[in-house]
Amino acid sequence: MLKNRLIPCLLLRNGLIVQSKQFKRWQVLGNPTTAVRRLSVWASDELIYLDISPDAVYDLKRDDLNHPNRGSLAEIIRDVAKYCFMPLTFGGGIRTIEDIRVRLGAGADKVSLNTQAVLTPTFVTEAAETFGSQCVVLSIDAAINGENRHEVKIQRGKEWTGLDPVEWAVEGERRGAGEILLNSIDRDGAMKGFDIGLIRRVVEAVSIPVIAIGGAGKWEDLAAALSEGRASAVSAANIFHYTEQSVLNAKKYLFSQGFNVRDPKLLEDKFRDKSSVHDPTLAWTDKRKCIG
């Protein structure tokens, strides 16, 4: 049967990987491709890359460490795709069918749509009809409004829309989205756990897979999003950045708790037994090459 997925998420802001807190504060973590190499060590099932740049400036601000500077998002995607032997979703700033074509052409397997989908809901349908539902992810940023209800926000969390996230997810599915990426702005970077109630309501309302993101502070939180929230996949950003082999450890925890995830033992064996696969990408585990 299909596996539950564990999906590290990387946030890109003007060319650099950042950590985000409630969509308002960002801490720079490093260069877009070294972070991919570090997180791509085999326990991840997919990778989500969200471009949260307020403008189209992509400057790595460094020419050292053999990392050439990159002037466009397509160049960054091409670099990332070279090291990413798993499905890659790219989101952020997508406004047109051409924007999608550029990202898929550079090596993304799926795109996530957010603000433009709310502004022009037919865009979701057009994207699905052009490229297939399997590569259209509807990204929903929800927050609790003044009336203590969940409401969808757009423009990187700056604008309220009046939309109910559950209703919007249902409409997104009807319009052709293949998956929902459900984020909670209040939980973003708070490490206090996912908004399980909201996840569960969205999961029960749609028949497409829901990826839960926003709030993971410990491995148990990931488990809760799968078991209580019934999400098909869990994603997180901050929690994976600061510890060694964090994705593998998260995977081991979920596997030990009986979740239907890929067996981390096999992944770890491959990861260690460098002779079995001629794989230069395993050099990523060399810490000297992980300076980012």
Partner 1 sequence: MNRLIGIVDYGSGNVTSVVNAFEALGFSARLSRDWAELKESTHIVLPGVGAFGAGMDRLKGLDLIEKLEREVLEKGKPFLGICLGHQMLATLGLEFGEHEGLNWIQGRVEKIDTGRSQLRLPHIGWNHARVLQPEPLYRHMTESPCFYYVHSYHLVPEDPSWTSAVCDYGVMLTASIQKQNIFGVQFHPEKSQPEGLQLLKNFAELA
Binding site for partner 1 (CB under 8 A): 1-3, 5, 42, 45, 78, 81-87, 104-107, 109, 131-134, 178, 207-209, 232, 262-263, 266-267, 270-271, 276-281
Note the Cα 266 to chain centre separation in Å.
24
Q: How far is the CB of 206 from partner 1 (least distance, A)?
A: 11
Q: How far is the CB of 279 from partner 1 (least distance, A)?
A: 6
Cβ closer to partner 1: 67 or 270?
270
Q: How far is it, in rounded angstroms, from Cα 72 to Cα 15?
A: 8
Q: Residue 251 burial (CB < 10 Å; 0-12/13-18/19+)?
A: buried
Q: Residue 261 burial (CB < 10 Å; 0-12/13-18/19+)?
A: buried
Cβ closer to partner 1: 181 or 267?
267
Q: How far is the CB of 2 from partner 1 (least distance, A)?
A: 4
Strands 159-160, 110-113: pairing is unpaired
Cβ closer to partner 1: 115 or 133?
133
Q: How far is the CB of 141 from partner 1 (least distance, A)?
A: 23
Max Cα separation, the chain? 59
Alpha helices in 83-195 (DSSP H): 97-106, 115-119, 122-131, 165-174
Cβ closer to partner 1: 118 or 213?
213
